């Protein structure tokens, strides 16, 4: 197993317990997540499926400490993040969770390497070891010849892989991805699934929100759950 990818998480699960998330939309109350309990085994790849509006993205946000539930609990690597002050929650999240958002949020005017190192900026920037690690990871996932080009020049599959490498900058225990195979052809879907499986096999806990059967039915996925109206269906 590649030393570039090997990782040992300090706690067995990421989990939510009796989580509820309500939003106000004018006079209307929206329940995005409804009394949901879910635990994800360490070193596993979980797919969360369901129709648009079922609560998949909200659940990812709760699991990763980006969204505070209205009630219930959320634990990252054994620690509840619900009652932490915002700056403590942000610090814990940066240390333990990597995100790949649906829009990827790459900065087109920066190089692929600069994008990969961007999460390290709040903690003082990248060291020479960080730069070497990022270069090695980019090469490992087929981007060796794209390291110094602007992100705007990447294909869809290359952008997705670059975003995943960027999410690894802090060597997180948990990797959360929102629709990572949207708009990709089958070859690129297979590459992304293989990439996620390799990271899972190296010890990370991975949760993907997806409506793509090419992903949630893939043999590499350890478990798939379905959300309907914010509940497990």
CA distances, 41 to each of 14, 44, 101, 201 (Å) = 7, 6, 22, 13
Residue 227: name the closest of 73, 74, 64, 59 by CA. Answer: 59
Cα separation, 188 vs 217, whole angstroms? 16
Taking the model in full, what pTM does it have? 0.90
What's 150's DSSP letter?
A: B
pLDDT one-digit tens code per residue, 196-225: 999 999 999 999 999 999 999 999 999 999
Scanning the chain, the segments in alpha helix (DSSP H) are 56-63, 86-96, 112-117, 128-140, 156-167, 186-201, 213-216
What is d(CA 112, CA 43) in angstroms, rounded to the nearest whole number?
A: 28
Encode pLDDT of 17-58 as tens digits: 999 999 988 888 999 999 999 999 999 999 999 999 999 999
Closest CA to 146 of 159, 131, 132: 159
pLDDT, averaged across the chain: 92
User: What pLDDT sits at residue 12?
Assistant: 46
| Residue for token pair 């039915």 | 217
Question: Residue 34: what pLDDT?
Answer: 96
**β-pair type (79-80, 71-76):** antiparallel
Return the structure tokens found at 107: 């900065």
Specify the residue for token string 């942000």.
90
The alpha carbons of the chain give a radius of gyration, in whole angstroms, of 17
CA distances from 143 to 112, 115, 133, 177, 190 (A): 9, 13, 13, 20, 16
User: Could you identify the residue written with the tokens 């991975």?
Assistant: 206
pLDDT tens for 70-109 read 999 999 988 999 988 988 998 888 889 999 998 889 999 9
Judged on CB neighbours under 10 Å (0-12, 13-18, 19+), 204 is buried
Q: Domain spanning 13-104+174-232: which superfamily?
A: P-loop containing nucleotide triphosphate hydrolases (3.40.50.300)
Closest alpha carbon to 46 in 197, 224, 194: 224
| Half-sphere exposure at residue 11, Cβ-oriented, CA atoms within 13 angstroms | 15
Pick the closest to residue 63 from 43, 39, 85, 83 (CA basis).
Answer: 39
Instruction: Classify the phi-psi angles of 139: left when phi > 0, otherwise alpha if psi is within -120 to 50, otherwise beta.
Output: alpha
Q: Quick one: average pLDDT of 119-125? A: 87
């Amino acid at each position: 197993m590649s030393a570039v990818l090997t990782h040992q998480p300090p706690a067995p699960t990421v989990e939510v317990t009796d989580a509820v998330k309500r939003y106000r939309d004018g006079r209307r109350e929206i329940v995005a997540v409804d009394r949901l309990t879910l635990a994800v085994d360490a070193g596993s790849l979980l797919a969360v499926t369901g129709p648009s509006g079922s609560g998949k993205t909200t659940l990812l946000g709760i699991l990763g400490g980006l969204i505070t539930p209205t009630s219930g609990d959320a634990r990252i690597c054994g620690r509840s993040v619900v009652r932490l002050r915002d700056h403590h929650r942000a610090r814990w999240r940066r240390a333990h969770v990597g995100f790949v958002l649906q829009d990827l949020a790459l900065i087109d005017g920066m190089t692929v390497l600069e994008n990969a190192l961007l999460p390290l900026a709040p903690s003082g920037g990248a060291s020479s070891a960080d730069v070497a690690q990022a270069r090695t990871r980019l090469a490992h996932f087929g981007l060796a010849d794209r390291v110094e080009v602007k992100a705007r020049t990447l294909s869809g599959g290359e952008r997705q892989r670059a975003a995943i490498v960027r999410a690894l900058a802090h060597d997180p225990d948990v990797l959360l991805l929102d629709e990572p195979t949207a708009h990709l052809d089958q070859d690129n879907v297979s590459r992304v699934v293989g990439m996620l499986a390799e990271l899972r096999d190296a010890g990370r806990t991975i949760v993907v929100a997806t409506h793509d059967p090419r992903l949630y039915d893939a043999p590499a996925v350890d478990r798939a759950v379905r959300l309907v109206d914010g509940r497990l269906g």
